[in-house]
Amino acid sequence: LAGAHTVGASKCFTFANGRFDRIYNFKNTSKQDETVNPEYLPYLRKKCPLGGDFTASTVEFDTGSQFNFDNWYFKNLEKRNDLLTSDQDLFQSQFTSGTGTIPISLPGTSGSP
């Protein structure tokens, strides 16, 4: 049910800290997760700076439309602009291959991601 992440936000500690760190020390490599879009990375690091309060700082799941239930979440996945490793893993998985690009149509949208 990854599409539920089209609305809302996540605390920095869920994707930028400890074993969940995607933007500073992915899998203890001192590098970012290579599945994160390099153009999106500075935004994430600005929102969750090293030494910042990762329990208070939040980042929207669906940058630009976090208050709307629309298909931008899937567009962001295609661009690798996502917060959670689990979302990107599901999107790129051989078991769900092709399902990440299913055209969806909601009232007032263009119809496909």
Q: What is the pLDDT of residue 33?
A: 92
β-sheet bridge partners, residue 58: 11
Q: What is the pLDDT of residues 31-57, one digit of tens each?
A: 999 989 999 999 999 999 999 999 999
- Domain contains 54: yes
| All residues at 6 or more sequence positions from 68 whose CB lies less than 8 Å from its CB, including other chains | 6, 7, 62
Binding residues for Ca(2+): 6, 62, 70
User: Is 37 a domain residue?
Assistant: yes
Number of domains present in the structure of the chain: 1
Q: What's residue 100's pLDDT?
A: 47
pTM: 0.74
Say if 103 falls within a structural domain. no
Instruction: Identify the segments of the chain with pLDDT beneath 50.
Output: 100-102, 104, 111-113
Which residues are part of a known binding site for heme b?
Answer: 5
What is residue 11's predicted lDDT score, i.e. its pLDDT?
A: 93
Q: Is 104 inside any structural domain? A: no
Residue 35 lies in a domain: yes
CATH number, domain with residue 65: 1.10.420.10
As annotated, the binding site includes 5-6, 62, 70
Among candidate residues 100, 103, 110, the one with its CA nearest the CA of residue 3: 100
Where in the sequence is the domain holding 37, given as residue range(s)? 9-95
